[in-house]
Structure 1
Amino acid sequence: MNDVDLKHLRRCVDLARTALDTGDEPFGSILVSGAGDVLFEDHNHVAGGDHTQHPEFAIARWAANNMTPEERAVATVYTSGEHCPMCSAAHGWVGLGRIVYASSTKQLTTWLAELGVSASRVRALPIESVVEGIAVEGPVPELAEQVRQLHVAFHGR
């Protein structure tokens, strides 16, 4: 984890804040090329009822349509929260590279339980339980606390 990683993760937290400000669950993600260029960024769009509208899934779709397999393999996905199983699988299927996250699935499930939020119908699994041989880094304590506060704000509404 270096200063460039932290810069990109901060942007993900900003995108999660944007999602919250628009009434959505606070998640944000960006795709960065092997050369360091930001190629795609997005935040959650599940408020309309389609719970597949995660930014990590959108990144996987975009990458599949706009990048070669070689480019995908050296790209990095940065995200405010560790991928869910659906997004992990999409990431693995399109052959994207490294994942760096601010907060982990374990942290999120703990926070949601503390807030009295009902458990999801989809199992909370770490990325490595879904995708073999993937490079994953995170969480980042300072940023994880910011993400926690966004979830507290969302679920406190």
Structure 2
Amino acid sequence: MTVTATDLRHLRRAVELARLALERGDEPFGSVLVSGAGRELFEDHNHVVERDETQHPELAIARWAGWHLRPEERAAATVYTSGEHCPMCAAAHGWVGLGRIVYAVSSAQLVTWRTAWGCPPGPVAALPIRQLVPDAVVEGPVPELEAEVKGLHEAFALAPR
């Protein structure tokens, strides 16, 4: 895995967005789209509590990229995200032809944590991105951010509802 200092900076922004989602009462996921030239193009966080269960930031990035970037720009871009794409978001990433994905924590890590906290399983299997998009360039998890992201998810999982 070759996660650079620049990658870490963008991943930290994705984690900040995840924290913002948590502060707004939502599941802590955040993502940033960065051009091949290194310019941040679009960012978002989860909106599943206020809207619907499909309002993931990775899906919003795929939709935005499809409308605003040429195919070669999409292929050169990188998506930085606090958590590995779910199958819905991975499929959108593949269909739109986005480039590299760098995630802080994996779906497998999240499933393990949620199980330990007594959370019910999600409605969709937590599959690795490459199982859905075999040619995807994927890097993660990033150990430097694991404890912070785990803390965000624990706070959401254990919050009274």
Sort the TM-score into its range (normalised by shorter chain). over 0.9
Number of positions where the alignment pairs a residue of Structure 1 with one of Structure 2: 157
Between 138-147 and 84-93, the greater mean CA deviation after superposition: 138-147
Shift of 1:49: 5.1
Q: Which portions of structure 1, spanning 4 or more consecutive aligned residues, are displaced by more than 3 angstroms? A: none
* 1:18-33 to 2 correspondences below 5 Å: 18-33=20-35
CA distance in 1, matches of 2:95, 2:56: 16
Which of the residues 45, 48, 57 maps onto 1:46? 48
- CA RMSD in angstroms comes to 0.7
Q: Equivalent residue of 1:139, what SS?
A: coil
Aligned equivalent of 1:119: 121
Aligned equivalent of 1:107: 109
CA distance in 1, matches of 2:113, 2:51: 22
CA distance in 1, matches of 2:50, 2:25: 10
Q: Equivalent residue of 2:133, what SS?
A: coil
Which of the residues 63, 73, 98 maps onto 2:75? 73
CA distance in 2, matches of 1:129, 1:117: 24
TM-score by length of 1: 0.98
CA distance in 1, matches of 2:99, 2:77: 5
Q: Equivalent residue of 1:25, what SS?
A: coil
* 1:142-157 to 2 correspondences below 5 Å: 142-157=144-159
Letter in 1 for 2:149: V
TM-score by length of 2: 0.96
Aligned equivalent of 1:97: 99
Could you tell me the percent identity over the aligned residues?
65
Shift of 1:48: 2.5
Q: Equivalent residue of 2:31, what SS?
A: strand
Q: Give CA-to-partner distance per residue, 1:68-121, whole Å, 9 cap, x none.
A: 000000000000000000000000000000000000011000010011000011
CA distance in 1, matches of 2:102, 2:67: 22
CA distance in 2, matches of 1:146, 1:104: 14
Q: Equivalent residue of 1:79, what SS?
A: strand
Aligned equivalent of 2:136: 134
CA distance in 2, matches of 1:49, 1:63: 21
Shift of 1:156: 1.2
Shift of 1:13: 0.6
